[in-house]
Structure 1
Amino acid sequence: MWLFRYLFTNLYRAIQTANGRRLLWLFFRYAGRPRHQSGIIPFLQYRFQVPDALSFVWQFKEIFADESYRFQTDINEPVILDCGANIGSSLAYFRQQYPKARIIAFEADPDIGAILKQNLANNRIDGVDVVNKAVWIDDDGIDFGSGEADSASLFSETNRRHVPSVRLRDYLLRETRVDMLKIDIEGAETDVLIDCRDALRHVRNLFIEYHAYIGHPQTLGTVVQILEESGFRYYIDSNQARVRPLVNHRYRGNDVMDLQLNIFAYRP
């Protein structure tokens, strides 16, 4: 049994839960499709328009199979700020787990934002305030590269355009309590956290997807310092570990980023 678990760890974990088994089915059914082709994928009680099947399958793994965004709350109407909501998979999960939550969702990419709104409407995921603007340090707008699927970024040189922005700090200061703050904004996270470092006192749970782009400074130390100063405990994980990192400086042949981490922070 232990040998089996060692050799087939991911498969062993997947078959333990219903959503893990659904993930296997999604991999077999959709992961081999040509990249960056739009289509409809049914899952659970939903039918989502997706711009890229493989990206969606990985979203399902993180959000529904692993339940990476699950948090504990002692109130019926938690406040959730979802920065980088993409096509709405995380919003479906939040609404499913916290049916009375007040949710504000931010999405920078205008095209992805349109798909997000369509998915929410078509699947009757109600009560989500969608802000189709980039989360940033001011309201002046920002130059933004629109990538395919979930690869849009401040650092992308593809299809660059100037998009509207909102200052996250302003939203945080309006709230007396934020039960979950999710930040997946493809490279803008460090600047935004620096701007918000004095506005995190009411945040109870925080998820940050940290990115380090090739040719730009790594700022993980700054992010961790802000978390520690704000009184958070944190856990850092990566599903993109690589063997011999002192030799292999990139993962999966990535020519854009050389590090991506999931950071989970919570109040003790």
Structure 2
Amino acid sequence: MRNFGRCLLYVLLVKTLFSFLFTDAYRLLSNPNGRKFLWLLLTSAGTRRNQTTTLTYDGLRFQTPDSLMFFWQVKEIFVDESYAFPATSSEPVIIDCGSNIGTSVVYFSRYYPKARIIAFEADAATARTLRYNLTANGVANVEVIEKAVWTDNEGVDFGSAGDDVSSVYVATNVNHVPSVRFRDVLKQYPRIDMLKIDIEGAENPVLADCRYALGHVQNLFIEYHAYIGQPQTLPELLDILKDSGFRYYIDTAQHRTKPLVNRQYRGNTVMDLQLTIFAYR
């Protein structure tokens, strides 16, 4: 009995040490979606970057212009479940701003099959891939709007990088794309169960314009971006959330060492800060 107790204690100690030293690996291995993600990495490790390819995850097929971008999206969306929210109805209203290739939209449709989903994507090539991925995965409950969410309906100059960093702040491949004043969109729905905003810097002027139109939004995900040479507007954004009655949680995947010295991250020459903000009532 004493030996059994020692063995049990040893196992617990090893498990605790492993989880402490290898937190991310332990979390992935202990999570079914994490193990599927690791399998995706193992089977797709040789995929070349920055070329269109088709990858599969958990029975889902996605065309993507860049494999690394897709890996990060799968981890954030399906493993970490950053877009999960408590739905109080079997038919929630979900607005996805910056739908990219549709990974988030497919996630929403899989977990909320009766939802009404409105997906905005400004980049024409990316919107084509989005529609392709929705069809490939049998997703039909989505309205795709090929416009930039903005502060007016006059269109906006939009730089296309061909991946998930296309933005009004990107200075390459700039085109004038159609836009929609997002405040007017919000007013069309008496209740919005989930609002996802990942529009690469445009969140700041858009949310400022929507300051008094967020009262019926129940859950809100914002990816906040600060571009080098542009003002950091995080205080103003948080004031909007506070005035709209939200509580919020802020996270980041950067975790820079020596941040007063390392003022950029991952060699990024465009942005010097990226945060994820989760707001809820």
Same-fold call, TM > 0.5? yes
1:65 to 74, 79, 84: 79
Structure-1-length-normalised TM-score: 0.97
1:209 and 2:223 matched: yes
**Alignment partner of 2:163 out of 142, 149, 155:** 149
Match of 1:106 in 2: 120
1:85-134 CA-partner distances (Å, limit 9, x unpaired) = 00111111101111110000000111000100111112210110000111
> Within 1, Cα distance between the matches of 2:93 and 2:188?
12
Query: Do structure 1's residue 220 and structure 2's residue 234 form an aligned pair?
Result: yes
SS of structure 1 residue aligned to 2:187: helix
CA RMSD of aligned residues (A): 1.0
Q: Is the 8 A contact 2:147 2:178 kept in 1?
A: yes
Q: Which stretch has the larger CA shift, 224-233 or 27-36?
A: 27-36
Q: Which amino acid in structure 1 is aligned with residue 175 of structure 2? A: R
What's the offset of the Cα at 1:35?
1.7
- C-alpha deviation, 1:31, in angstroms: 4.8
Offset, 1:28: 2.5
Residue in 1 aligned with 2:12?
none
Structure 1: gaps of 5 or more residues: none
Could you list the per-position Cα deviations for residues 244-266 of structure 1 after superposition, in whole angstroms to 9, with x for gaps in the alignment?
Answer: 11111011111010000000000
Contact 2:126 2:162 in 1 (8 A): no
- Whether the 8 Å contact between 2:222 and 2:277 is mirrored in structure 1 is yes
**Moved >6 Å (runs of 4+):** none
Q: Which residue of 1 aligns with 2:7?
A: none
Q: 1:51 maps to what in 2?
A: 65
Identity %: 58
Give, in whole Å, the separation in 1 of the partners of 2:137 and 2:90: 23
Cα shift at 1:3: 2.3
Q: Which structure would you say has the larger Rg?
A: 2
Q: CA deviation at 1:27?
A: 2.1
The aligned length equals: 267
* 1:234 corresponds to which of 229, 236, 248: 248
Normalising by structure 2, what TM-score?
0.93
Partner SS, residue 174 of structure 1: coil
Instruction: Tell me by how many angstroms 1:32 deviates.
Output: 4.9
Partner in structure 2 of residue 16 of structure 1: 30
Gapped regions of structure 2 (runs ≥ 5): 1-14
Distance 1:118 1:132 in 2: 14
Partner of 1:177: 191
1:26–1:215 CA distance, 2 compared to 1 (3 A): same
Task: Report the AA paired with residue 27 of structure 2.
Answer: R
SS at match of 1:48: strand
